[in-house]
């Protein structure tokens, strides 16, 4: 039993486009809010939470709608095509609003592009388990996350190269890049992925492996109590680690600018290191999860991520050590990401993949609604807590905030007892390294 790597890579182009967009969004939008429109950190955090508020409602909705869709091009592709094309077109309005300093246009464009992104995120993520047998989904998710990470790295490189220093940099080049990149990813996906054909092939592969789901399971049979308990605890874990991770990632461009004094897109290079470390580790992490289990791999990733954030908190200026800490963070986040979504889907039934994908994003987005506001308040008013007269002193609390919430997720993950795949026994240890097509 081995994963069809080529098939999974092509499916991953959808997630690559998504991650590239959010990398630009998380890095550039806070800078526009602060430097162009003079929005303080608390209100900026509120604006950055809007996408997650929309996602809280729309991701489960469109995940469920795609479960029930039956078209010639599949369940997920209609949403992926429509949503990505709309988002790519609307994105161009954001640098225009920045250039003419129109807050009204900025808000309208931001709302429209976030709505467009929400329509296809759950369907795009659900496409991988639709075409991948259950025991192979950690490996499949490793490749999907690798594709997403490569998209994020390309976006960060674009930010570093295309966003100049100075007080009023032009963001036209980077937003044009991301719009074109999303369109290219969609074109590759359309040309290479026949969703109905691949979904049918997966059913045959699953039947051959003896893991075909029954009609009762496909109808959405209720979870056994023990599985439901694990499901609740893994959702709690997802909430906590997103509370920590998203706070750091969302505020990092401002943190680097205000606290470290980095200008323009210079902050992006630190994140590139984290993304590169994650990219290198995705496949090994998938292999490790096959050997020791998803839960243990996630716990190890939590330790690395919390240690990285906790260590970074001790540096008051940029240091080359940041590259090391962010490498650890990238590996830790990869260990968590590769295995958490497959654990959620493992507890679902075949016909409910889109719905459970929606649950996963509902919880993660809830955390991402709350944490930019909470962490933004710390950045804005933390100097009062610290008894300092320096209004920027609160930035020192960002990394400890992230480390604490990530560490708390370790405790909740200890209570998760389900979601590890039942992988067929391999005849030799070398088969664990078999990733050929």
Tens digits of residue pLDDT in 352-408 = 777 787 788 789 888 988 998 888 888 888 888 888 888 788 888 999 999 999 999
Most confident segment among 139-143, 223-227, 268-272:
268-272
Six token digits for residue 70: 């039956």
Closest-CA residue to 302 (of 335, 340, 278, 338) = 335
CATH number of 5-210+224-422: 1.20.1250.20
Most confident segment among 3-12, 219-228, 266-275, 342-351:
3-12
pLDDT value of residue 427: 37
Higher confidence at residue 45 or residue 413? Answer: 413
- Per the CB < 8 A criterion, the answer to whether 310 and 396 are in contact is no
Phi, psi (5° rounding) for residue 72? -65, -25
What is the pTM for the complete model shown? Answer: 0.72
- Per the CB < 8 A criterion, the answer to whether 262 and 252 are in contact is no
| Rounded average pLDDT over 250-261 | 86
| Rounded average pLDDT over 230-247 | 95
Six token digits for residue 401: 């905030």
Tens digits of residue pLDDT in 59-107 = 888 988 998 999 999 999 999 999 999 999 999 999 999 999 999 999 9
Query: What is the C-alpha R_g of the chain?
Result: 21
Domain ranges of the chain: 5-210+224-422
Give residue 137's pLDDT band: very low, low, confident or very high (50, 70, 90). Answer: confident
| Rounded average pLDDT over 202-211 | 78
pLDDT value of residue 385: 86
Asked whether the predicted pLDDT for residue 1 surpasses 70, the reply is no
pLDDT value of residue 350: 55
Q: What angle do CA 347, 352, 356 make, to 5 degrees?
A: 60
Tens digits of residue pLDDT in 166-187 = 677 899 999 999 999 999 999 9
Asked whether the predicted pLDDT for residue 429 surpasses 60, the reply is no
Asked whether the predicted pLDDT for residue 217 surpasses 50, the reply is no
Asked whether the predicted pLDDT for residue 433 surpasses 80, the reply is no
pLDDT value of residue 425: 43
| Rounded average pLDDT over 295-317 | 93
Closest-CA residue to 157 (of 318, 250, 272) = 272
Most confident segment among 19-33, 48-62, 138-152, 380-394:
19-33
Asked whether the predicted pLDDT for residue 221 surpasses 80, the reply is no
Six token digits for residue 73: 């091009």
Q: For the chain, give the mean pLDDT.
A: 86
Higher confidence at residue 206 or residue 412? Answer: 412
Q: 146-150 long-range contacts, Cβ below 8 Å, gap at least 24?
A: 146/12, 146/279, 146/282, 146/283, 147/9, 147/12, 147/13, 147/15, 147/16, 147/19, 148/12, 148/15, 148/16, 148/18, 148/19, 149/19, 149/275, 149/278, 149/279, 149/282, 149/334, 150/16, 150/279
Calculate what percentage of the chain has a pLDDT beyond 70. Answer: 92
Which of 97-106, 114-123, 263-272 is the least confident region?
Answer: 263-272
pLDDT value of residue 211: 66
Most confident segment among 26-35, 58-67, 85-94, 212-221:
85-94
pLDDT value of residue 401: 95
CA distance 62 to 398: 33
Closest-CA residue to 52 (of 233, 237, 303, 249) = 249
pLDDT value of residue 220: 52
Asked whether the predicted pLDDT for residue 432 surpasses 50, the reply is no
């Amino acid at each position: 039993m081995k994963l069809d790597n080529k098939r999974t890579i092509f499916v991953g182009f959808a997630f690559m486009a998504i991650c590239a967009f959010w990398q630009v969004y998380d890095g550039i939008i806070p800078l526009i809010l602060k430097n162009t429109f003079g929005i303080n950190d608390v209100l900026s955090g509120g604006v950055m939470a809007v996408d997650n508020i929309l996602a809280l409602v729309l991701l489960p909705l469109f995940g469920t709608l795609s479960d029930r869709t039956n078209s010639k091009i599949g369940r997920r592709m209609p949403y992926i095509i429509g949503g990505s094309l709309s988002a790519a077109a609307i994105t161009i309005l954001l640098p225009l609003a920045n250039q003419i300093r129109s807050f009204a246009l900025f808000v309208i464009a931001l709302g429209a592009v976030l709505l467009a992104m929400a329509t296809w995120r759950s369907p795009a993520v659900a496409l991988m388990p639709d075409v991948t047998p259950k025991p192979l989904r950690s490996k499949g998710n490793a490749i999907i996350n690798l594709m997403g990470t490569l998209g994020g790295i390309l976006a960060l490189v674009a930010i570093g190269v295309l966003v100049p220093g100075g007080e009023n940099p032009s963001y036209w080049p980077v937003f044009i890049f991301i719009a074109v990149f999303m369109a290219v990813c969609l074109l590759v996906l359309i040309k290479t992925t026949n969703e109905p054909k691949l979904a049918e092939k997966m059913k045959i592969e699953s039947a051959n492996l003896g893991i075909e789901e029954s009609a009762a399971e496909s109808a959405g049979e209720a979870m056994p109590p023990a599985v439901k308990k694990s499901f609740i605890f893994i959702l709690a874990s997802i909430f906590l680690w997103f509370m920590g991770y998203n706070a750091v990632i969302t505020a990092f461009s401002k943190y680097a600018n205000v606290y470290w004094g980095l200008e323009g897109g210079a902050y992006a290079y630190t994140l590139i290191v984290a993304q590169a470390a994650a990219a290198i580790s995705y496949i090994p992490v998938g292999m490790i999860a096959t050997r020791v289990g998803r839960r243990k791999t996630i716990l190890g990733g939590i330790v690395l991520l919390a240690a990285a954030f906790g260590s970074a908190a001790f540096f008051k200026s940029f240091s080359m050590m940041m590259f090391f800490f962010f490498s650890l963070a990238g590996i830790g986040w990869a260990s968590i990401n590769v295995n958490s979504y497959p654990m959620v889907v493992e507890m679902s039934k075949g016909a409910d993949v889109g719905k459970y994908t929606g649950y996963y994003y509902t919880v993660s987005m809830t955390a991402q609604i709350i944490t930019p506001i909470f962490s933004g308040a710390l950045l804005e008013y933390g100097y009062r807590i610290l008894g300092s007269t320096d209004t920027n002193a609160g930035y020192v609390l960002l990394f400890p905030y992230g480390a604490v919430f990530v560490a708390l997720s370790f405790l909740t993950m200890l209570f998760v007892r389900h979601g590890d795949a039942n992988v067929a026994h391999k005849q030799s240890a070398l088969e664990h390294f078999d990733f050929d097509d």
